[in-house]
């Protein structure tokens, strides 16, 4: 799944996401080459996020290959925890740093065709 960034500059590619309103998880099959353990870890991260703070979380690659957390919540959702959202994302960025960096490298090599330098 690809979509245009809010600034309209570059396409974004959704890796995965979870929606607390529909209680659904999405994984982009273009990334089916990722090991099962990685796919399960991504699912756990997304689902736990939406269970804890609500709303919709997607993990998306920008046009440069950076993996970003995108969060959305319905306008009238007073149960969405905006502060908890920011804290949970920071927690993931710290605790899952190696995984997130590996995913960015995977995307840059296999999708953007970049060369790896030592």
Q: Are 89 and 52 in contact (CB under 8 A)?
A: no
Q: What's residue 9's pLDDT? A: 46
Please report the pLDDT score of residue 89 as a whole number: 98
pLDDT in the model for residue 96? 98
Mean pLDDT by 10 residues, the chain (118 residues): 50 96 97 97 98 97 96 94 96 98 96 86
pLDDT of residue 30: 97
Q: How many CB atoms lie within 10 A of CB 76?
A: 7
| Residue 1 pLDDT | 54
Full DSSP string of 13-82: EEEEEEETTTTEEEE-GGGTTS-HHHHHHHHHHHHHHHHHH-SEEEEEE-TTS-EEEEEE--TT-TT--H
Per-residue model confidence (pLDDT) at position 117: 78
pTM of the predicted structure, to 2 decimals? 0.88
């Amino acid at each position: 799944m690809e979509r245009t960034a809010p600034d309209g500059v570059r396409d974004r590619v959704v890796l995965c996401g979870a929606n607390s309103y529909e209680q659904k998880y999405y994984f982009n099959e273009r990334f089916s080459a990722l090991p099962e353990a990685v796919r399960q870890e991504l699912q756990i991260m997304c689902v736990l996020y939406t269970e804890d703070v609500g709303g919709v979380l997607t993990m998306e690659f920008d046009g440069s290959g950076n993996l970003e957390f995108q969060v959305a919540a319905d306008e009238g959702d007073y149960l969405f925890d905006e502060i908890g959202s920011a804290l949970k994302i920071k927690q993931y960025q710290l605790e899952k740093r190696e995984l997130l960096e590996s995913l960015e490298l995977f995307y840059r090599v296999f999708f953007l065709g970049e060369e790896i330098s030592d």
